Amino acid sequence: MYDYGLNLWGNNNFIVENGKICVNTGSKPAIIDIVKSIRSEGYRGPLLLRFPHLIHKQISQIYKSFESAKNEFGYKGSFNAVYPLKVNQYPGFVKNLVRHGQKYGYGLEAGSKAELLLVMAYNNEGAPITVNGFKDKEMINIGFIAAEMGHNITLTIEGLNELEAIIAIAKERFTPKPNIGLRIRLHSSGSGIWAKSGGINSKFGLTATELIEAVNLLKEANLLDRFNMIHFHIGSQITEIHPLKKALIEAGNIYAELRKMGAKNLKAINLGGGLAIEYSQFKENSSRNYTLSEYANDVVYLLKTMATQRNEVEPDIFIESGRFVSASHAVLVAPVLELFSQDYTEEKLVLKKKNPQLITELNDLLSTIKPSNAIEYLHDSIDHMESILTLFDLGYVDLQDRSNAEILTHLIIKKAAKILGTKQHNAELLKLQEEAQERYLVNFSLFQSLPDFWGLKQNFPIMPLDRLDVRPTRSASLWDITCDSDGEIGFDDEENPLFLHDVDVEKEEYFLGFFLVGAYQEVLGMKHNLFTHPTEATIEIDAEGFKVSHLLESQSILDIMEDLDYDIYEIQDILNERIEKSKLVTDSQRKQILGEMYLFLNDNGYLKTIS
């Protein structure tokens, strides 16, 4: 069985059965069967599958872990969690999250006016709301309205000017009023590629001087009783637990100091997000050094110790984990359209009566390659190919010779790959496999569906949906269908070598799954080349089988033109007029063309099939 590191990143969400990757719940359907059932209704191109049971699983694990940590240490503060909307605002996700979060009192976090208004509409009654990020008077006003509607809302202040605005607005608005939180600036910071959101130079948070001033301003305005929470966020995907521990100690001391200054309603410490998930398919490059239960235990234990040392009440704990809750629920499935060297078959070889010496040698290599010489022959064939190209530039061999060399080299690479397999993971072989890689053209846009790979080199687990009982032999690089050369996931022989199967996609379908794409990717996705959010489907699974509960087709070409503020009626009129005016076709041909044009404009822009 070839499981592509599933035991590392899979969290028991999926299992491999009969060579297929299956969802590990209820009837355990194979993902490929879900995909085929959706495609049988005519949907083509990439598919984003949402699994709501995995949202529920993450939420319940968070509450369970903190509950058990609290019990273990006899912690008296409460535990609360909110989901930060910025991580995924799509209704197909958010509505399921709110539904599954209800019994836990799971709340929502907003970072902008638009998010705040969404939160006010969808948040479970009584569940907490926190608001972070820069705010103007209007946004603060919306926060007051949320409190007046009955929401349990805390506005976290990022700077003193926001506090001054709150004080001014509080005089004008009604009761009840929102709670006020202060974002603190820690000198300890996070780790990993997102670390800049913590630390003394971070974009957010009040310095010690500003904190003192804030408490004084609140006192003067008679609003100190509304101040209930301090907040920090040391960055996303915290790879090590150590910086968080340092941050907790610092925050615990600030908490005690502020209470000493008279902030008696300050009862909560909000740790922000940052809880990491495991993206890696290889043990050597694991992306975090702690588990959820370690995280919960450390947080509870440290805050308890701090409170005891400082002789203060144990604070209520708030967390704002986004990535941890949302990443696993979504799987992107994209069909492979073509293997670059698929056309290099023996039949295409047109050898001459008298061939250049190097071609004869390549031919010999192909017929005598075997396990004991495979690495050497692979080397030789790549060298020969390079020499042939030089000879071509100098005019010594012709295009037919060059084509023969291409075909022979690819046949040797394929044969060697089959012989060598992926077992011998030595550096030299991997290096060779990088040169001998196969390019897979995949029907998706990297910019739309995996923007963090493009922007941050974040790896996501990738694997084929079936053939997992067959050894994959080809070192693979993936090409998306944008015309941008950055739209590639290259074969990474050092960190993340991906091996796929040698398939003839003209005869049989081959699908790749991209996992853990539920956090950040969807809304950060770009419309580069005017590719849109893929067709999405929500999949509910029970003991009987699976149900596609919500299917939303990818936007049409006209929709995306409209998003860019084109006048789509004008576009259609121009196209139609130009077709009408064409003198090159007959009336009945013209009618057909107009019909075709209408269909193309109203369909999405992903590819259907190549041939």
Ligand X SMILES: *Cc1c(COP(=O)(O)O)cnc(C)c1O
Residues marked as catalytic:
483
Q: How far is the CB of 54 from ligand X (least distance, A)?
A: 16
Contact residue for ligand X among 162, 210, 320, 338 (CB under 6 A)? 320
Sign of CA dihedral 188, 192, 198, 201: positive
Residue closer to ligand X by CB (options 237, 422) is 237
Q: Where does this chain touch ligand X (CB under 6 A) — which range of 37-45, 51-59, 316-324, 344-352? A: 316-324
Of residues 250 through 279, those in contact with ligand X by CB under 6 A are 272-275
Q: What is the DSSP letter of 188?
A: S
Q: Which stretch binds ligand X (CB under 6 A): 167-175, 317-325, 441-449, 596-604?
A: 317-325
Q: Which two tokens stand for residue 544?
A: 């009987």
233 binds ligand X (CB under 6 A): yes
Site string for ligand X, 469-508 (x = CB under 6 A): ----------------------------------------
Residue 232 makes CB contacts below 8 A (sequence gap 6+) with: 183, 184, 186, 198, 205, 247, 251, 270, 271, 272
- The full DSSP string for 7-58 is HHH-TTSEEEETTEEEESSTT--BHHHHHHHHHTTT--S-EEEE-HHHHHHH
Conformational region of residue 45, where left means phi above 0, alpha means psi within -120 to 50, and beta covers everything else:
left
Complex with ligand X: residue 320 or 438, whichever CB lies closer:
320
Q: Closest distance between ligand X and the C-beta of residue 456, in Å?
A: 13
Site for ligand X in 540-579 (CB under 6 A): none
Q: Which residue is nearest to ligand X (CB)?
A: 273
Determine the size of the site formed for ligand X (CB under 6 A).
16
Handedness of CA 521, 462, 63, 233 (dihedral sign): negative
Closest distance between ligand X and the C-beta of residue 321, in Å?
Answer: 4
| Gyration radius of the chain's alpha carbons | 29
As a whole number of angstroms, the distance between CA 326 and CA 94 comes to: 9
User: By CB under 6 A, what part of segment 88-147 binds ligand X?
Assistant: 132
The 3-state DSSP class for residue 382 equals: helix
Neighbours of 350 (CB within 10 A): 10
Residues 364-423 that bind ligand X (CB under 6 A): none
Closer by beta carbon to ligand X, 133 or else 605: 133
How many C-beta neighbours within 10 Å does residue 44 have?
16
- 84 contributes a contact to ligand X by CB under 6 A: yes
CB 562 within 8 A of CB 568: yes
Tokens standing for 157?
Answer: 């202040």
- Is residue 313 within 8 Å of 264, Cβ to Cβ? no
SS (H, E, C) 250-319: HHHHHHHHHHHCCCCCCCEEECCCCCCCCCCCCHHHCCCCCCHHHHHHHHHHHHHHHHHHCCCCCCEEEE
Give the pairing type, strands 128-131 and 107-110: parallel
CB of 233 to ligand X, least distance (A): 4
| Smallest separation (angstroms) from ligand X to the CB of 545 | 33
With CB under 6 A as the contact rule, which of the stretches 17-25, 80-88, 100-108, 337-345 interacts with ligand X? 80-88
At 583, give phi and psi (nearest 5°): -95, 0
Select 147 or 325, whichever has its Cβ closest to ligand X.
325
Pick the closer one to ligand X by CB: 45 or 199. 199
Indicate the residue among 272 and 335 with the shorter CB distance to ligand X: 272
* Piece of the chain touching ligand X by CB under 6 A; list 20-28, 57-65, 164-172, 229-237: 229-237
Binders of ligand X among residues 275 to 304 (CB under 6 A) are 275
Q: How far, CA to CA in Å, does 227 sit from each of 169, 221, 425?
A: 16, 12, 58
Rounded CA gap, 56 and 64, in Å? 12
Question: Could you tell me if 449 and 332 are in contact, meaning their C-beta atoms sit under 8 angstroms apart?
Answer: yes
Among 57, 267, 288, 323, binds ligand X (CB under 6 A): 323
**CA distances, 529 to each of 47, 448, 524 (Å):** 18, 10, 15
DSSP assignment of 390-437, as one string? HHHHTTSS-HHHHHHHHHHHHHHHHHHHHHHTTT---HHHHHHHHHTP
Q: Does 321 bind ligand X (CB under 6 A)?
A: yes
Q: How far is the CB of 301 from ligand X (least distance, A)?
A: 21
**Interacting positions 339-368 with ligand X (CB under 6 A):** none
Task: Name the pairing type of β-strands 499-500 and 488-489.
Answer: unpaired
Please enumerate in sequence order all residues whose Cβ is within 8 A of that of 516, keeping only pairs 6 or more positions apart, or say none: 9, 277, 279, 327, 328, 460, 461
Q: Does 87 interact with ligand X (rule: CB under 6 A)?
A: yes
Beta partners for 439? 477
Which residue lies nearer to ligand X by CB, 199 or 464?
A: 199
Q: How far is the CB of 98 from ligand X (least distance, A)?
A: 17
Q: Which is nearer to ligand X, 348 or 457 (CB)?
A: 457
Shortest distance, position 295 Cβ to ligand X, whole Å: 11
| Contacts of 503 by beta carbon, 8 Å cutoff, 6+ apart | 336, 339, 467, 510
Binding segment for ligand X (CB under 6 A), chosen from 79-87, 248-256, 259-267, 358-366, is: 79-87
Q: Which residue, 87 or 140, has its beta carbon nearer to ligand X?
A: 87
Nearer to ligand X, 86 or 414 (CB): 86
- Under the binding rule (CB under 6 A), the answer on residue 451 touching ligand X is no
Q: Which of 20, 56, 70, 86 binds ligand X (CB under 6 A)?
A: 86
User: Of 82-90, 335-343, 357-365, 599-607, which part binds ligand X (CB under 6 A)?
Assistant: 82-90
DSSP per-residue string spanning 441-459: EESS-HHHH-HHHHHH---
Cβ neighbours for 571, distance < 8 A, ≥ 6 positions apart:
558, 561, 601
Q: How far is the CB of 309 from ligand X (least distance, A)?
A: 27
Element spanning 107, H or E: strand 107-110
Query: Residues 46, 101, 315, 322: which binds ligand X (CB under 6 A)?
Result: 322
Query: CB of 307: closest distance to ligand X in angstroms?
Result: 23
Residue 203 or 608: the one with the smaller Cβ distance to ligand X is 203
Task: Select the span of 172-180, 230-238, 331-339, 563-571 touching ligand X (CB under 6 A).
Answer: 230-238
- x-marked contacts with ligand X along 28-67 as a string, rule CB under 6 A: ----------------------------------------
Contacting residues toward ligand X, per CB under 6 A: 84, 86-87, 132, 233, 236-237, 272-275, 320-324
